[in-house]
Amino acid sequence: MGRLSLFWLFWLLACPTVQAEGHNVAYKLLQDKEILSLEKILQINHKQMVGKVLEVELERENKLLIYEIEILNDKGIVWEYKINAKTGKIIEKELD
């Protein structure tokens, strides 16, 4: 695993929602390929999610693991994206 991947993994594990879920659980989900890394999620959606990442949460909604990512764009607008953590598909996008 590269330095950047490790950075995102540790950053993801530091998020309060993931801690509530249990950092060991999040790590196991990543190792078992049940979720994509945050780095991969950002690579998949780099054209739609342009800007600075402000906050990331990993949540479970109806047995589906979802990344909630807040992005600050170059116009100063914060967008919240809900992304399927297994596929990387954007489920929802809304102004925060």
Output the domain CATH number for residue 8.
3.10.450.40
**pLDDT of the residue at 11:** 52
Total tally of structural domains belonging to the chain:
1
Mean pLDDT computed over 29-51: 92
**pLDDT of the residue at 6:** 47
Mean pLDDT computed over 68-79: 94
The residues, any chain, with a CB within 8 Å of residue 12's CB and separated by 6 or more, are 18, 26, 37, 38, 56, 58
What is the C-alpha separation between 28 and 7, in angstroms, rounded? 17
What is the C-alpha separation between 78 and 7, in angstroms, rounded? 23
- Phi–psi pair at 58, nearest 5 degrees: -115, 120
**For residue 77, what are the domain limits?**
3-95
> Is residue 73 a contact partner of residue 55, using CB atoms and an 8 Å limit?
no
